[in-house]
Structures are given as C-alpha cells and as structure tokens.
C-alpha cells in the first residue's frame, strides 16, 4: 500500500501541493486526475524523492519511503527519454541493474519484456531506430523491467494512437492483475473510466475527490439525464440542472437524483416523439468537472 | 561491486561500455598512437644520429694535413667538416655566395664568410690551423718527439658539477612543455566529453528515469569515474606505445627522463581530471541543449587555458616564486608542476603539498558541485543560474 500523507510543497509563492493525501492499494489501478499544474507531477516526483516536500511524507507498507523502497518502484516520467544510441536490450538490462537486479537476472528480465512487447528480434537495435510507438513501449518496459511492486506513470497515454492506447491499457490491466499497485495520470477521462478501478482528483495541490469509481458515481447526488425528442427541440424545464450537451435533438442534463422522472418524460412527450430516455449515474467527466469547479468557485 | 558503490559503478561501466567500444573511440586512439609514434620514429629515420655537415673552402697555401685536422676538430664538436680546394679566391667566393661552402679559408690566415660568421665553425677552423702551426713550429725548433709530446699534452683537468647534470636541459624543458600541452589537451578533451554526456542526459530527458533509481551524486560520480577511466586508458595506451617506440627506435633525441615524465603526466592527469571534471560536470548540468554546451564550457576552459599559458611563463624560470606558487595552486598546479618536474629536481615536499592541496580542493568541490548538480539537473528548459541550482537542491 502506497500512502501519500499530507504532502505540501511551495516554490516561492506558488503552492504546488497543499496537504495532499491519498493511497494506492496493491492490484488496483488508480487514475490520478487534475487540471494542468494541479500538482500531479510534483506528487509523482515526491514519491521518487525527486522533490523534497516541505511537509508530509510518502509511505510504503507503513514505512517512510527511502532508497530501498524506491528500488521496488517503477517510474515513467512525463518527459519521456532514454539513451537514444543504446541498444534496446542493453538499455533495459542497465535499468534493471540500476534497480538492484543482478546481471543475469537483469538480462533475462530485459529479454522477457522485449518478447512481451513483440520486440524480441530488435534487442540489438538502437532505440532511435525503432518507431515512435515502439519507443514508447520500451519506455514503459524501462519503468517495469525490474518487476516493481508499484508503478507510477505520468501521462502514459499521451501521444499514443488508438491502437497504442489499447495495448498500453491492456498491459496496465495485466500488470495490476499480478498484484502491482498502479497509479497513472491522464487527461483522457473516458479512458480512465474504462481502465481504472479507483480515481484520485487533485486541484490546487489538494485532493478534491478520491475513491472507487463506481462507488463515487453511485454516491453522487446527481444523475445524467439524456433525452432525444423527434420534432421541436425540447427545452427541459427543471427545478435544477445543468445542460451539458445539446446536439441533433439530443439533450443531456445533469440533474438531482431525486427529480420526478415521470413529470420530465411527460413534458418531453408534449414536444414530440421520445426516442431515447436514459437516467444514469454521472460520468467520470461530470464528477471531475464538478469537483474541480467547486474548488475553483470557493 | 556491492553496497553504496554498486550504482556509481554501474553508471561508470555503462560509460565505459558505450564509449570504449564505439568506433569513434577506437579510431581516435589509433590515430593518436600513429601520430605519437611517428613523432618519435620519423626524426630518428631522417637525421637522428646524422651530424650536420659544413664545407670549408681552401684557397692558396694550405697544409696537406689540414683536411684531416679539420675533420677531427669537427668530430669533437658534433659536426662533419669537409674541405674543397679552389684555384683562386674569386672562384671560392662564387661558391661561398652560392652556399656550396660555409666559409673560405685563405692562405690559412683569413676567414671569409658570406654574411653571418659561424662562431662554432670559426673555432673549429682556428684549432685546426693552430695544430698545423704547432707541427710546423716543432719541426723548425728541431724538438724530439718526447719534447713535442710534452708540449702538446693537453692539461688534465678534473670535472665536477655544482648542479645536477644538465647536459640535455633544453631537451628536458621541451619534454616538459610537450607533456604539459598533452595534459592540457587531454583534460579539455575528456572534460568536454563529460560535459556533453551530462547535457545529453538532460536533452534526451533520460535523467529523470535515472534519478528515480539513483541519487544525483551517484550518477555524477559514476559518470566522472567512467569517462575518466576511458580517458586514462586511452592516454595510457598512447603513452605506453610511445615508450615502446622510443625504446625500439633507439631515439637519441629524447632525454633519459622521458619515461618518468610520461609517468608524471599520467599521474597529474588523474588529479587534474578530478579537478576539472567537477567543473565541467557542474557547467553541463546547467543547460538542457547541446547548442548551449559550447558556451557553458567556456568559463571552465578559460581557467584551464589560463593555467596552460601560465605554465609557459613558468617554463622560462622554473625555480622562480611565480612557478612555485603556480605549481601549488590547484587550477594551475597540474600543468606548472609537470613543467618544473621535467626540468629538474623539485623538492619532494613541494610535490606532496601540491598533491595534498589538489586532493583537498577536489573533495571540497565535489560537495559543492554535487549540490549544484542535484539542484540543476532536473530543471529542463532554459539555462539554470548557479544561485537557483544551489537553492533548488531537492535531493
């Protein structure tokens, strides 16, 4: 279990982290969300000792994290980069050794990862000779080559095409299935919704929402109401609610969970033929926007 | 290798593997060896051991013994002296103007030069003429061969020196300069190597992946060590082969102190690299782009260059106060000390003091540089100011 406890970090007058706390359990995939410069990268760097917090600490299995613990962590920074001129096999072996694996085991692990990535025959190719997508895969392998117990990935999906996104998502699910705690940041909320069991949302250095995605959705006092009416555009008349999208006669509204659905449906039918009427928990995007706007409004 | 040195050692091993196995490294080593060996062997093949030749033109009265006496006098002073007879002075002067002869001896009494008189050749001719005169005087006086021998017997003089032998003092001074220049070049070269290597890690962004696994000081120590070993190995291979070439070619131009001077150069390379590598590494950690690597290394190279130029001044008066101070102060010590050591005996306490100062300074600088490096190396983008790096140390 990784515990982020009360992390606070200031750079001059800029508050990067302001008492951020959350945890990541083994075998879980945690989506770490937040607007730009909310404190995601600073938090991840603090886990690896690359940022020294002014207050608070990072704990692993109940103990403060030091070099020994970090050797069992894997990190993929937002700024991608490996040695471009090194042979891929040697490069992965090198990173495995730096994380404490012995020579032969490190070599084996590197070869194993290249095999899993479908690059088994490219071990002697220089990194720069690989395609962009394959370089990204090697970057991920560099973070995971030493079989870490915790994987921290900063924006792992950025810059990937849909196929790359899919294969990376699958790899993360497989990794977590072996008991690894996985935490990654992303701006692609629909993707996070698909891949993650847990979510942590940060804004202005403070955690504004954290928990199991499905539970958060269910516990939300809001519901997503989607109505499509054939005929004149339907204008919802509701005591409360925000229209989130409106397209080709389809209207999506965030409403209180307690609204009278019968009344709304009747109102819509007066306008035209109702071809779609759905009432569901809010999406992760809804939760995110709500959580972030609450902080910004305050 | 285990414990706290394991990770720096892995970093150093990677530097060694990537650089020492590269084609560029093999080629540059081969070229250096060729150049150095050629410098030793070629002068030996063309002119090494061959004495310069002078031709004396003879006009008018001239003893039949003069040519052999001239040759003998020349031999004693390391010159091959030949003679050529001319029918008259005019013919001799033509040859003199054309440079066919070096000097014209008229009637064994007058020397005619083309322009500048050659004092050494003048003395040789004078001593040969004098020998002819003596022979003649002995014959005229009717001396017995015993009397003649007694008259001509050279005095027996004993010979001692106040200072150690300096028969090849200028050659040793030249050797010191060569060693110093090589040292300067090697440190600037491998220091630049290190700087580029550090900028590369920032520009390729691999540094953050590395620093999630090891401390900045471990990375810094490993890089300095790895590139230093590559440099030392290349330097030692070139120097070793130079010594072999020197031995095999029987080079007579190199002074006897050559092997020990080479040893000192390697020794001071280790210390000097220790000093300057820290400066180069610190400079490198401040920038993120290769284009900036040139300008950021300028201040460091300027310090090195100042030491280099100062060493030339010190070579002129190796026993002066300036040379003494310069050979103790770390930035200049490596180059000035080489020049002084090559030229003669430097008291051992000065060498010990100089080395101790150097080691202490390097130790202190590593602490400072480690902090600056740690504060700067993760700041990717614009050039980091020293003050920011100092304050911004996170790890």
Q: Tell me the C-alpha distance between A82 and B209, whole Å.
A: 8
- Kindly state the helix (H) or strand (E) to which residue A223 belongs, with its residue range: strand A222-231
- pLDDT number for residue B253: 62
Q: Under DSSP, is residue A188 helix (H, G, I), strand (E, B) or coil?
A: coil
Paired sense of beta strands A55-60 and A2-11, if any: antiparallel
What would the DSSP string read from start to end of B287-341?
A: --SHHHHHHHHHHHHHHHHHHHHHHHHHHHSTTSHHHHHHTTSHHHHHHHHHHHH
Checking if the pLDDT of B394 tops 60, the result is no
Checking if the pLDDT of B48 tops 80, the result is no
Distances (CA, A) of A98 to A70, B36, B128: 11, 39, 80
Backbone conformation region of residue A159, classed left if phi is above 0, alpha if psi is from -120 to 50, else beta? left
Checking if the pLDDT of B44 tops 70, the result is no
B337 Cβ contact list (under 8 Å, min separation 6) = B264, B268, B327, B346, B351, B354
Q: Which residue of B has its CA nearest to A86?
A: B18
Cβ-defined contact of B209 to A82 (cutoff 8 Å) = yes
- Kindly indicate the confidence band of residue A62, based on its pLDDT and cuts at 50, 70 and 90: very high
Mean pLDDT of A77-104: 92
Checking if the pLDDT of B251 tops 70, the result is no
Token look-up 């080479």 returns B262
- Kindly state the helix (H) or strand (E) to which residue A21 belongs, with its residue range: strand A14-24
Mean pLDDT of A164-178: 91
DSSP state of B179: H
Which member of B14, B17, B209 has the closest CB to residue A81? B209
- pLDDT number for residue A61: 94
Checking if the pLDDT of B361 tops 90, the result is yes
Mean pLDDT of B15-27: 88
Checking if the pLDDT of A298 tops 60, the result is no
Checking if the pLDDT of B295 tops 70, the result is yes
Q: Tell me the C-alpha distance between B282 and A229, whole Å.
A: 68
pLDDT digits (tens, 9 = 90+) for B264-284: 888 999 999 999 999 999 999
Compute the nearest-CA separation of B34 from chain A (Å): 29
The half-sphere exposure of B183 on its side-chain side, counting CA atoms within 13 A, is 37
- Kindly indicate the confidence band of residue B252, based on its pLDDT and cuts at 50, 70 and 90: low
- pLDDT number for residue B250: 67
Checking if the pLDDT of B45 tops 80, the result is no
CB-CB contact of B374 with B218 (8 Å):
no
Mean pLDDT of B208-232: 91
How far from chain centre, in Å, is Cα B275?
A: 21
- Kindly indicate the confidence band of residue B165, based on its pLDDT and cuts at 50, 70 and 90: low
CB-CB contact of A93 with B394 (8 Å):
no
pLDDT digits (tens, 9 = 90+) for A107-141: 999 999 999 888 999 999 999 999 888 898 899 99
- Identify the sign of the CA torsion B348, B349, B354, B358: positive
- Kindly indicate the confidence band of residue B37, based on its pLDDT and cuts at 50, 70 and 90: confident
Q: Which of A109-113, B50-54, B81-85 has the lowest mean pLDDT?
A: B50-54
Cα angle B51, B56, B62 (rounded to 5 degrees) comes to 135
Mean pLDDT of B364-379: 85
Which ipTM did the prediction report? 0.86
**Closest by Cα among B340, B343, B306 to B323:** B340
- Kindly indicate the confidence band of residue B46, based on its pLDDT and cuts at 50, 70 and 90: low
Identity of the highest mean pLDDT range in A246-255, B12-21, B127-136: B12-21
Cβ-defined contact of B212 to A77 (cutoff 8 Å) = yes
- pLDDT number for residue B62: 84
Checking if the pLDDT of A5 tops 60, the result is yes
Residue window 371-390, chain B: list those with CB within 8 Å of chain A: 378, 380
Q: Which residue of B has its CA nearest to A79?
A: B205
Identity of the highest mean pLDDT range in A75-89, A250-264, B365-379: A75-89
Q: Tell me the C-alpha distance between A193 and B96, whole Å.
A: 103
Question: Which residues in chain A have their CB less than 8 angstroms from residue B205's CB?
Answer: 77, 79-81
- Paired with A60 in beta bridges are A2, A63
Alpha helices in chain B (DSSP H): 6-20, 23-45, 66-76, 89-98, 119-141, 145-152, 169-203, 206-211, 216-249, 258-285, 290-316, 321-326, 330-343, 348-376, 386-391
Q: Which of A166-180, B127-141, B201-215 has the lowest mean pLDDT?
A: B127-141
- pLDDT number for residue B43: 67
Token look-up 């792992």 returns A156
**Closest by Cα among A88, A98, A61, A79 to A153:** A79
Mean pLDDT of B342-350: 84
- Identify the sign of the CA torsion A122, A126, A132, A133: positive
Q: Which residue of A has its CA nearest to B7?
A: A98
How many contacts does A have with B, using Cβ atoms within 8 A?
60
Cα angle A261, A267, A273 (rounded to 5 degrees) comes to 105
Mean pLDDT of B237-246: 84
Checking if the pLDDT of A269 tops 90, the result is no
Structure tokens at A229: 């009416």
- pLDDT number for residue A2: 95
- Kindly indicate the confidence band of residue A207, based on its pLDDT and cuts at 50, 70 and 90: very high
Question: Which residues in chain B have their CB less than 8 angstroms from residue A49's CB?
Answer: 394-395
Taking the alpha carbons at both ends of chain A, their separation in whole angstroms is: 32
Q: Which residue of A has its CA nearest to B6?
A: A98
Identity of the highest mean pLDDT range in A144-153, A239-248, B252-261: A144-153
- pLDDT number for residue B50: 58
- Kindly indicate the confidence band of residue A82, based on its pLDDT and cuts at 50, 70 and 90: very high
B14 CB within 8 Å of a chain A CB? yes
CB-CB contact of B232 with B269 (8 Å):
yes
Checking if the pLDDT of B242 tops 50, the result is yes
- Mutating which of A94, A128, A152, A153 best tests the B interface, going by the most B Cβ atoms within 10 A? A94
Residues making up chain B, counted from first to last: 395
Q: Tell me the C-alpha distance between A45 and A36, whole Å.
A: 15
Mean pLDDT of B349-366: 92
Residues making up chain A, counted from first to last: 298
Greater pLDDT, A41 or B315: A41
- Kindly indicate the confidence band of residue B166, based on its pLDDT and cuts at 50, 70 and 90: low
CB-CB contact of B67 with B128 (8 Å):
no
Alpha helices in chain A (DSSP H): 40-47, 67-70, 88-98, 103-116, 132-144, 162-177, 189-195, 213-219, 261-271, 284-297
- pLDDT number for residue B395: 46
Share of chain B above pLDDT 70, in %: 93
Cβ-defined contact of B18 to A98 (cutoff 8 Å) = no
Mean pLDDT of B200-221: 89
Identity of the highest mean pLDDT range in A24-33, A246-255, B306-315, B367-376: A24-33
CB-CB contact of A183 with A33 (8 Å):
no
Cβ-defined contact of A81 to B7 (cutoff 8 Å) = no
């Amino acid at each position: 279990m990784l515990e982020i406890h009360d992390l606070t970090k200031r750079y001059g007058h800029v508050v990067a982290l302001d008492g951020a706390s959350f945890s990541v359990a083994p075998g879980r995939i945690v989506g770490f969300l937040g607007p730009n410069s909310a404190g995601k990268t600073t938090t991840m760097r603090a886990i690896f000792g690359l940022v020294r917090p002014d207050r608070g600490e990072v704990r692993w299995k109940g103990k403060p994290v030091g070099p020994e613990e970090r050797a069992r962590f894997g990190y993929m920074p937002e700024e991608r980069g490996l040695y471009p001129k090194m042979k891929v096999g040697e490069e992965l072996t090198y990173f495995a050794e730096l994380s404490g694996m012995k020579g032969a085991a490190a070599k084996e692990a590197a070869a194993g990862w290249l095999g899993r990535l479908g690059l088994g025959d490219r071990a002697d190719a220089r990194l720069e000779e690989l395609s962009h997508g394959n370089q990204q895969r090697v970057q991920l392998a560099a973070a995971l080559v030493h079989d870490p117990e915790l994987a921290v990935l900063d924006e792992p999906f950025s810059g990937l095409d849909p196929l790359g996104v899919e294969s990376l998502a699958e790899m993360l699910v497989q990794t977590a299935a072996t008991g690894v705690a996985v935490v990654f940041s992303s701006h692609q909320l629909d993707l996070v919704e698909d891949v993650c069991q847990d979510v942590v949302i940060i804004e202005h250095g403070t955690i504004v929402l954290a928990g199991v995605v499905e539970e958060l959705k269910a516990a939300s006092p809001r519901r997503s109401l989607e109505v499509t009416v054939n005929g004149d555009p339907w204008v919802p008349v509701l005591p409360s609610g925000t229209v989130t999208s409106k397209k080709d006669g389809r209207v999506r509204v965030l409403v209180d969970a307690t609204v009278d659905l019968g009344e709304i449906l009747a109102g819509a039918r007066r306008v035209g033929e109702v071809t779609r009427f759905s009432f569901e928990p809010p999406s992760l995007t809804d939760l995110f926007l709500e959580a972030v706007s609450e902080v910004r409004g305050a | 290798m285990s414990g706290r040195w394991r990770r720096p050692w892995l970093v150093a091993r990677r530097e060694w593997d990537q650089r020492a196995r590269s084609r560029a490294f093999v080629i540059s080593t081969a070229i250096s060896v060729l150049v150095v060996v050629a410098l030793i062997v070629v002068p030996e093949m063309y002119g090494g051991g061959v004495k310069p030749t002078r031709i004396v033109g003879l006009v008018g009265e001239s003893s039949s013994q003069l040519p052999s006496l001239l040759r003998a006098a020349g031999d004693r002073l390391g010159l091959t002296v030949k003679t050529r007879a001319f029918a008259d002075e005019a013919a001799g002067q033509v040859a003199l103007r054309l440079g066919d002869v070096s000097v014209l001896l008229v009637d064994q009494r007058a020397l005619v030069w083309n322009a500048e008189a050659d004092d050494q050749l003048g003395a040789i001719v004078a001593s040969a003429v004098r020998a002819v005169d003596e022979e003649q005087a002995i014959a005229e006086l009717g001396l017995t061969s015993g009397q003649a021998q007694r008259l001509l017997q050279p005095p027996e003089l004993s010979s001692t020196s106040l200072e150690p032998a300096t028969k090849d003092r200028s050659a040793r001074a030249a050797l010191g300069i060569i060693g110093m220049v090589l040292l300067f070049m090697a440190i600037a070269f491998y220091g630049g190597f290190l700087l580029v290597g550090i900028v590369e890690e920032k520009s390729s962004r691999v540094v953050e992946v590395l620093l999630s696994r090891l401390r900045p000081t471990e990375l810094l120590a490993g890089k300095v060590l790895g590139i230093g070993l590559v440099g030392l190995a290349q330097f030692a291979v070139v120097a070793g082969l130079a010594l072999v070439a020197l031995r095999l070619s029987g080079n007579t131009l190199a002074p006897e102190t050559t092997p020990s001077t080479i040893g000192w150069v390697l020794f001071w390379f280790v210390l000097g690299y220790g000093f300057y590598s820290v400066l180069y590494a610190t400079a490198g950690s401040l920038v993120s782009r290769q284009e900036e690597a040139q300008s950021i290394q300028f201040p460091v190279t300027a310090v090195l260059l100042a030491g280099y130029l100062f060493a030339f001044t010190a070579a002129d008066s190796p026993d002066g106060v300036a040379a003494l101070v310069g050979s103790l102060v770390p930035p200049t010590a490596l180059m000035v000390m080489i020049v002084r050591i090559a030229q003669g005996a430097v008291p051992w306490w000065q060498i010990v003091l100089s080395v101790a100062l150097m080691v202490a300074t390097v130790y202190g600088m590593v602490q400072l540089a480690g902090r600056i490096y740690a504060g700067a190396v993760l700041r990717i983008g614009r050039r980091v100011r020293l003050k920011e790096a100092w304050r911004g140390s996170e790890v």
